[in-house]
Amino acid sequence: MPSRQSSEGMVKKGAVALEMAEFDDAIEMFGRAAVEDATNPRAWFYLGVCYLEIRQTDVAAEAFERAIAADPEFTDAHYLLGTAMGSLGQLDGAANCYRRALAIDPQHQKAEEFLIRTEAMLASRQHYRSAIGMIYAEQREPDWINPVVRELLHSVAIFKDSPAASEMPRVANEVIREGRRRLVHEVSASDGPFWASAVRRAEQAFERKNWPEAASRYHEALDLSADHAFIHHALGLIYFSLGDLEGGMHAWQHTLDLAPDYDFSSIGSLGSI
């Protein structure tokens, strides 16, 4: 017959070892406690905690599942199972675990915090996967660049560590290689001749793919007048070409802020070529 009293005694010894970060001893004690009484949720729970500490996440997840089987209302077991599943890349399962923890205890702050983060990652992943589908499609749509840029920007805006940023240089290279020049701005009195001169020199450096010089000249123009979307777009192309993903993302997001319907497939200019 399983002995809950004996099992709890081992759990207490295991807790002491866990407190001192003696994980091997703690795992032995919690494991013996679980063998002594497989219906002891605390034994399984703390065994899972130990395996999380030593980065055996898959084993930890199994232990938390056993804890939940023994006590379906074990809030922290649901929460840490979510943590384990998130580490294993099972984001949908992790979100469900956090929701279950909150259903049991609506005040569980960690479960709420991780649920918000996981849902953001899921939304970001959806935008990223949508963009990847368009980028690597066997036959691309004629205007594939614009929706791809917006999907990638959305992905990073929702979750800053999204891998979406790493796809931007590929898109930028396509724009530089295939993008057509178009007249987007007539120089006005408010822009002034110095602004126009800086932009034209920037465009000349861009044509030569002298990225540092082009960036310097565009920034010179921005110092004089910062509200031209086509300049921020060009800077994004330059930053991506230089390997500056953060700078490129920031520039293209600024482009969208200034002109929500901006055409990223073309390269803006003061004159047509």
Q: How far apart are CA 79 and CA 77, in angstroms?
A: 5
Q: How far apart are CA 266 and CA 140, in angstroms?
A: 17
Give me the mean pLDDT over the 160-186 stretch.
89
Mean pLDDT of the chain: 93
Give me the mean pLDDT over the 235-252 stretch.
96
232-239 contacts at long range (C-beta below 8 A, 24 or more positions apart): 232/258, 233/262, 233/264, 233/267, 233/268, 234/202, 234/203, 234/206, 234/267, 234/268, 236/172, 237/172, 237/175, 237/176, 237/206, 237/267, 238/206, 238/211, 238/214, 239/215
SS (H, E, C) the chain: CCCHHHHHHHHHHHHHHHHCCCHHHHHHHHHHHHHHCCCCHHHHHHHHHHHHHCCCHHHHHHHHHHHHHHCCCCHHHHHHHHHHHHHCCCHHHHHHHHHHHHHHCCCCHHHHHHHHHHHHHHHHHHHHHHHHHHHCCCCCCCCCHHHHHHHHHHHHHHCCCCHHHHHHHHHHHHHHHHCEEEECCCCCCCCHHHHHHHHHHHHHHHHCCCHHHHHHHHHHHHHHCCCCHHHHHHHHHHHHHCCCHHHHHHHHHHHHHHCCCCCCCEEEECCCC
Give me the mean pLDDT over the 211-240 stretch.
94
* Range of 68-82, 130-144, 159-173, 220-234 with top mean pLDDT: 68-82
Which residue would you say has higher pLDDT here, 79 or 189? 79
For residue 124, pLDDT beyond 50: yes
For residue 271, pLDDT beyond 80: no
Same CATH topology for 4-107 and 127-269: the answer is: yes
Give me the mean pLDDT over the 130-136 stretch.
95
**How high is the pLDDT of residue 3?**
64
**How high is the pLDDT of residue 210?**
97
For residue 34, pLDDT beyond 80: yes
For residue 273, pLDDT beyond 70: no
pLDDT in tens, 245-267: 999 999 999 999 999 999 999 99
Q: Which amino acid is at 187?
A: V
Backbone angles phi, psi at 28, to 5 degrees: -60, -45
Please, which pLDDT band fits residue 103 given cuts at 50, 70 and 90?
A: very high
Q: Would you kindly state where each structural domain of the chain is located, as residue ranges?
A: 4-107, 127-269
What percent of the chain lies above the pLDDT cut of 90?
83
**How high is the pLDDT of residue 40?**
93
**How high is the pLDDT of residue 33?**
92
Q: Which CATH class is domain 4-107?
A: mainly alpha
For residue 2, pLDDT beyond 70: no
pLDDT in tens, 145-168: 999 999 999 999 999 899 999 999
What CATH number does the domain located at 127-269 have?
1.25.40.10
C-beta separation of 214 from 240 below 8 A: no
Lowest-confidence pick of 60-64, 164-168, 182-186, 202-206: 182-186
Please, which pLDDT band fits residue 188 given cuts at 50, 70 and 90?
A: confident
